[in-house]
Structure 1
Amino acid sequence: MKIVFATNNAHKLSEIRAILGDKIEVLSLKDIGCDADIPETGTTLKENALQKARYVWEHYHMSCFADDTGLEVDALDGAPGVYSARYAAVRYTATLPQSTDEQLAPASHDSEANMTQLLADLGNNNNRKARFRTVIALILKKDVCPCGCTSIKQEHLFEGVVEGEITRERSGAEGFGYDPIFRPDGYDKTFAELGADIKNQISHRARATAKLADYLMRL
């Protein structure tokens, strides 16, 4: 079975392919010739995941899935949440006068800037409780004509959550994003210290992907 994962993020692709194994061939956006910067303008993880998956469906009419992931920190009222990948840029821009040029804001997906901003916002707060949440939106192409000339789409959602806490400093060199400052419950190491093998068993994305894989295997 072939399915498109609406991303070109090498880290995400590696994780997903390792979790799904060789029974499902996962194609990237690059593999299908898509180099578009797919919009993510939703206010929730679900909206963003669906937006990306629907873009692939509408332009390529292929079965596909997309994910959106957010880090939710209790002491920050659930932030950065849907803005996790561009947290530093959002926070920087929010502090500027309207007349100020925003070009100096940190780039989107700047992991180092995002972690620095998050640790600064938490400061010495002893409430470090947080969780990673992943939502996967799956769109399956279902032929309604024996020859395949007519098809419809079926949409499904899968969610995975891992509880943990934010450390006071970075630790570990593996993983990506906030992995060096997130320590999952039940472990004394961050995701960046635990390594891909363990992370791919217990992470938010692993849990959401396990539900996706279970569904796909039963088709």
Structure 2
Amino acid sequence: MTKSTNIVWHESEITKAIRREAKGHKSAVLWFTGLSASGKSTISVALETALHARGIHTYRLDGDNVRYGLNKNLGFSPEDRTENIRRIGEVSKLLVDAGLFTLTAFISPYREDRNQVRELVETDEFIEIYMKATMESCEERDPKGLYKKARLGEIKGFTGIDAPYEEPDAPEITIDTNRLSISESVEVIVSYLNDNNYI
């Protein structure tokens, strides 16, 4: 990869604090992580809708959607997965600076990758949301038919089948999607944001 040289960061006169004041709330990354079909996209969509109804400014980044454009040149090797998350982390950092709650729905299987994104932003600006679900329940849902293809050997390096998923050590929020409904899951997250003075 060619590295940029002779570059200098150019500060803006409009700061993150000014943007937040204009919006009337803090900004942060809400990082949804979990197995495929654990509910990351479903819950992030429902949460964005709930936040929007409260006048909260958001933007949602979804794993598949990002691979249509920004990351369309990346595959699913460990190295490409790491680069995928690195790019999303940098985009998320910019959106937090813009004063938005950035909802990201990515399997992001490696703890180190997720922790590197956490280090990009300030201490209270990264909220890891672990979408906890059993492999059995994810395979039962399997809305895209990916587990079936992986079991048949049609997809190689599939997380949870022949590639690892590293559970978060200490996520800010854990959503047990085997037990909680969509609305209950959203309420858990909104309550966290309220209780910790994000909104």
TM-score range, shorter chain: 0.3 to 0.5
Q: TM-score, normalised by structure 1?
A: 0.32
Structure with more strand by fraction: 1
Q: TM-score, normalised by structure 2?
A: 0.34
Q: Which has the higher contact order (CA 8 A, sep 6+)?
A: 2
Which has the greater radius of gyration?
1
